[in-house]
Amino acid sequence: MLVIDSSVIIAAFRRQEERHNDALEILNFGQEILVLDYVLAEVLTVLKMKEGYKISNKCLDFLENCEGFLIRRLANAEFKSSVEFFKLNNNKLSFVDLCLVTFTKAQGLPLVTFDKDLADCFNAY
């Protein structure tokens, strides 16, 4: 199972993104894909703002019908860990990004992201 960051999903639905083809390969790889509900909210908001509602709806339809796609909410303990991690980190990462780091590390799952800062934090944690 792969945990996917918003950067990957957004790149898959925006042809002008540098890593568009890489993102398509990841989403069509056939593995189970887990996305935190925060990440899904981020993806749909960005796509709607940058591409319009048709593309954001296309993304949502794809994800809803994608075999092996799972949406996960953080449990209370996971949320509390993320809040503490956020309070301790004086970097430019968003709360959502830090939730991804704490969740994937606690679960022992790989994180797939095109965001260098997020990847560096994940590897350093």
Which domains occur in the chain, in start order? Answer: 2-124 (3.40.50.1010)
Q: Residue 125: is its pLDDT beyond 80?
A: no
The β-bridge relationship of strands 111-112 and 69-72 is unpaired
pLDDT digits (tens, 9 = 90+) for 78-111: 999 999 999 988 888 999 999 999 999 999 999 9
Position 65 scores a pLDDT of: 87
- Would you place residue 15 in the very low, low, confident or very high pLDDT band (cuts 50, 70, 90)? very high
Read off the DSSP letter of residue 3: E
Total residue length of the chain: 125
Q: What is the pTM of this model?
A: 0.91
**Mean pLDDT throughout 49-56?**
95
For residue 34, give the 3-state DSSP assignment. Answer: strand
